[in-house]
């Protein structure tokens, strides 16, 4: 957990596709005196809910923007696996249920990811700004990895998402000092989840083999560069056959 604490400050700087114009924002945020008066997790969760009247009237684009600003989003990294972190998030954030009800959310998330570029890093950025950029990629990739999102995508959307995630993985490997190993793993986790969703005969790995890889990339504590190279070689074969 300690090595993940570097991400705590990642939500300070808005960057490109991850934080656009927002019509509603959380009234109580980390770093404010009001937040400091919340002394337990339950009170922080309650303070981070979107009022129902506002939630139903937010556009889907703004609902996605609100996701990226969720005060407790960083907590997804404080669990043994990415998925356990996401399950905790889905349980505690009322905005996720609304996202699942909106038919346009999966398409909008894919469009944002297709516009992303993990190598779009300015060396003049502060370490905090670089950290924000890296964490926003993780949070978008983990959201896209959820079955409630992936299952609603068309074949072509999944194909394009797979191609882009491989491209971003390559850029992250070139900029690992910014994206860190967790960033590489979140891209691999998304790739595996997409492949599992395809469930096609041309996959040279069985679902059981893919599930073993998924377990490795789902973990927030272990890291195996050989498995990342394995994913890269696997996608080199699969993508031309899609």
C-beta separation of 174 from 180 below 8 A: no
* Close Cβ partners of 182 (under 8 Å, ≥ 6 residues apart): 4, 7, 77, 138, 220
pLDDT at site 200: 65
**pLDDT, tens digit, 9 for 90 and up, residues 53-82:** 999 999 999 999 999 999 999 999 999 999
CB atoms within 10 A of CB 194: 23
15 pLDDT higher than 80 = no
Q: Indicate whether 176 belongs to any domain.
A: yes
Q: How confident is the model at residue 241 (pLDDT cuts 50, 70, 90)?
A: confident
pLDDT at site 18: 53
Q: Indicate whether 40 belongs to any domain.
A: yes
Q: Indicate whether 1 belongs to any domain.
A: no
- Domain tally for the chain? 1
Q: Indicate whether 26 belongs to any domain.
A: yes
Q: Indicate whether 142 belongs to any domain.
A: yes
Q: How confident is the model at residue 21 (pLDDT cuts 50, 70, 90)?
A: low
Residue 15: phi and psi, rounded to 5, are -135, 125
**pLDDT, tens digit, 9 for 90 and up, residues 73-107:** 999 999 999 999 999 999 999 999 999 999 999 99
Q: Indicate whether 203 belongs to any domain.
A: yes
In the predicted model, what is the mean pLDDT of residues 129-138? 96
pLDDT at site 72: 97
Q: How confident is the model at residue 212 (pLDDT cuts 50, 70, 90)?
A: confident
Give the global pTM.
0.88
Between CA 218 and CA 139 the distance in angstroms is 14
What is the average pLDDT score of the chain? Answer: 88
Between CA 7 and CA 16 the distance in angstroms is 19
Looking at the chain, the whole-number percentage of residues with pLDDT higher than 70 is 88
12 pLDDT higher than 90 = no
196 pLDDT higher than 50 = yes
**pLDDT, tens digit, 9 for 90 and up, residues 108-128:** 999 999 999 999 999 999 999
Q: Indicate whether 2 belongs to any domain.
A: no
Q: How confident is the model at residue 22 (pLDDT cuts 50, 70, 90)?
A: low
**pLDDT, tens digit, 9 for 90 and up, residues 144-189:** 999 999 999 999 999 999 999 999 999 999 999 999 999 999 999 9
Q: Indicate whether 90 belongs to any domain.
A: yes
Range of the domain at 57: 7-241
């Amino acid at each position: 957990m300690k090595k993940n604490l570097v991400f705590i400050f990642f939500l300070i700087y808005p960057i490109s596709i991850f934080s656009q114009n927002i019509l509603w924002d959380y009234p109580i945020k980390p770093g404010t005196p009001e937040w400091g008066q919340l002394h337990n997790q339950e009170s922080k969760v309650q303070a981070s809910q979107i009022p129902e009247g506002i939630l139903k009237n937010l556009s889907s684009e703004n609902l996605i923007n609100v996701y990226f600003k969720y005060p407790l989003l960083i907590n997804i990294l404080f669990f043994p696996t990415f998925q356990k972190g996401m399950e905790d998030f889905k349980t505690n954030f009322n905005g996720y249920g609304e996202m699942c009800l909106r038919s346009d959310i999966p398409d909008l998330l894919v469009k944002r990811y297709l516009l992303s570029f993990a190598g779009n890093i300015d060396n003049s950025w502060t370490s905090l700004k670089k950290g924000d950029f890296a964490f926003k990629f993780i949070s978008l990739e983990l959201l896209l990895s959820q079955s409630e999102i992936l299952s609603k995508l068309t074949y072509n959307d999944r194909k394009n998402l797979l191609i882009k995630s491989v491209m971003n993985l390559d850029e992250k490997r070139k900029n690992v000092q910014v994206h860190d190993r967790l960033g590489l793993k979140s891209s691999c986790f998304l790739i595996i989840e997409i492949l599992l969703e395809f469930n096609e005969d041309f996959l040279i790995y069985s679902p059981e083999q893919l599930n073993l890889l998924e377990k490795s990339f789902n973990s927030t504590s272990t890291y195996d560069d050989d498995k990342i190279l394995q994913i890269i070689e696997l996608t080199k074969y699969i993508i031309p056959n899609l």
